[in-house]
Structure 1
Amino acid sequence: MNLESMSMAELLDIHNELADMKAGPKTFASKAKLIERITKTAEAKSIDLASFRQRSEPEAAVRGTEQQTERAEASEAPTETKPKRGKGVGDLARALIMDEAGYPYQLIAAMVNAQVDGASASAKSVAWYASKMRKAGIDVPERKKHFSADLNEEESVEWLAGVQVVGFVTGESFDDGCK
């Protein structure tokens, strides 16, 4: 075995097979020091470097053919077909995001879940798709904001709780100016 003609990576592999402690690619300052360490380790363990790794190439070829036959046998074996979950969710969500109507993300998620079997889209996942599209440089239409008229009774109460009554700029109260 001619160690001088081998690459550093091959020499490092040989060293790591021989040595008790593995070495990384930055362990040795030069190729000469790595070759010296390999020869010393081989001498200490009474390993003949000339015959070292001679059987490894045919074994690798045999292993490769065994793996190929296993793959072929596995593909012939009957497989259980599971229903594919969520196929087309992203495509549909992206199409609805690009719609000029500017549907809110919650509505898009509901539309996707209704059209795709097994989908579990949420407003956050639809927002994620929109974010990825914007990062890719796609001009995503603006979303419409929620209007209180579109909300149910509970949502409307929650929305109105956040509304603050503000007086006129002149400081008048609402009752003073409206008669």
Structure 2
Amino acid sequence: MIKDIFFEYEYQIIWTTVVVVGLLLLRLGLKQSAKRIAKRDELNFARTRLIFKYINVLVSFIALFSLLLIWGVEVHELTLIFSSVFAVIGIGLFAVWSILSNITSGVIMFFSFPYKIGDKIKIHDKDSPIDNVIIEDIKAFQLHLRTDKGELVTYPNNLFLQKPVTLLKKDALLERDENIDR
């Protein structure tokens, strides 16, 4: 019985195994690369975990698409399903495009961001300049900045990439914490 099922779906089972193993290796490779970049650039582990989530979503999407093709879903049916789903998602995201923009900015900031948690910066925004703030945390949607008065300022990632920023002092958070301990 099981032997008959295996021989009937031999092609699909073999290719499913190949795809699953290949995608697990791809996921492992992408995560190792992200971990290496995070270690090299001394990035916060919370930011690295966020990139891991994005990698998992990407690999899951590729796996779903590949497995549906292997198990006999026709390409034109698959494109119809995915285009319909993406149309609905696209309309939903268009209404809240800034969320997608902030997530994309967060990914860009993970791979190429000259500032680290603890740096003291100044944001040159003509409408509301932000001076002498310490980067306390970098989240998926916004930066958490701490003023000299102890106030928490959240600043959207996409705006941070659009505004000129001046580095005032490296590792000011460390220095501040040392002064508090004294």
Normalised by the size of structure 1, how large is the TM-score? 0.26
Higher RCO (CA < 8 A, seq sep 6+): 2
Normalised by the size of structure 2, how large is the TM-score? 0.25
Q: Considering fraction of residues, name the structure with more strand.
A: 2
Q: Considering fraction of residues, name the structure with more helix.
A: 2
